[in-house]
Amino acid sequence: MEQVIANGLYLGAQYALIALGLTLIFALMNVLNFAHGQMYVLGGFVTYEVYGLLHWPFVVALVASALTLAVLGALIERFLFRTVIKRSEREESTMLLAAGVAYFLDAAILLLFGEKQRGVHKILNGVFIWDNLILPWDRILVAGLAILFIVAFILMMQFTKPGRAMRALAQDRVAAQLMGVPVAFYGLIGFALGAMLAGLVGGLLVTITGVNSGIGGPISIKAFMMVMIGGAGVVGGAIAGGFILGMLESVGLTVLHAYGDITYLAIFVALMIFLAIRPNGLMGKPWG
């Protein structure tokens, strides 16, 4: 049982970090960023190139992933989403744009990095063994870093000027504008931050799970599940959704393994019932 709980917590930490960027972009701009998984993949490939091929320090690779995605996110917001939001009165236009960006990134990543699964050498060797519990040290480190990034993100949103501005923007865009918050600027910062988180977690996890050009879509779907569980646009909800999904997967795969692959079936059924009762998820929108 200790192993099952440890697996769930580890999965939850990485899932929560994946979901954070998605929920941030939704909260700030009301955009369902279908390209979030592709941004994760790109972050993974940047770390693969810098750490795996150039053999630069892992920290440098992580920073490179984060910066690359932050710049890409800012460009996508400035030249695509801002334009579409300004010109279109229909909210689904941004969804179509996000889907288009996802397809574009899928194709571009395949062309740039090829079709093969890529991985890097372990950042830490060895395994922690305690009674029935077995955890490789690199997973412990990655889970620790994921939790550290989540805490840093929450503190930034809570106590810094940009964080307060983005929270105001998420709560009420018009009121924030009337109070003198430069909404366009903080929208751009928020989108860049969301993309940066995707790149960061992609870079972090390439050391454990590797990366390939085809996993963007499935990552996005999982991130949406976490956001639906926790409540769209709520930071606490995304974190809770990540940990709940991680724990459900770990417990389900252990308890139900003798019945074949019904873990996700059970999770989806539970999710449908849950959403019928609480359509806004655990915490709903807006956060504050």
Span near another protein by CB under 8 A; candidates 75-83, 129-137, 158-166, 225-233 = 129-137
* From 116, 178, 180, 288, residue interacting with another protein (rule: CB under 8 A): 116
122: contact with another protein by CB under 8 A = yes
110: contact with another protein by CB under 8 A = yes
114: contact with another protein by CB under 8 A = yes
261: contact with another protein by CB under 8 A = yes
4: contact with another protein by CB under 8 A = yes
56: contact with another protein by CB under 8 A = no
CA angle 215, 253, 45 (to 5 degrees): 20
Residue among 257 and 278 whose Cβ is closer to another protein: 257
* From 36, 118, 167, 285, residue interacting with another protein (rule: CB under 8 A): 118
11: contact with another protein by CB under 8 A = yes
Residue among 71 and 270 whose Cβ is closer to another protein: 270
Span near another protein by CB under 8 A; candidates 61-69, 77-85, 104-112, 277-285 = 104-112
Residue 177, both tokens: 């504008």
Shortest Å distance, C-beta 254 to another protein: 6
108: contact with another protein by CB under 8 A = no
Is the distance from CB of 31 to CB of 94 less than 8 angstroms? yes
* From 108, 112, 121, 144, residue interacting with another protein (rule: CB under 8 A): 121
Tokens 């930490």 correspond to 13
Is the distance from CB of 39 to CB of 198 less than 8 angstroms? yes
Q: Please state the length of the chain.
A: 288
106: contact with another protein by CB under 8 A = yes
| Residues in 199-228 that interact with another protein by CB under 8 A | 205, 208-210, 212-215, 217-219
- Per CB under 8 A, residues contacting another protein are 3-4, 7-8, 10-11, 14, 52, 106-107, 110, 114-122, 127, 129, 134, 136, 139, 205, 208-210, 212-215, 217-219, 249-250, 253-254, 257-261, 264
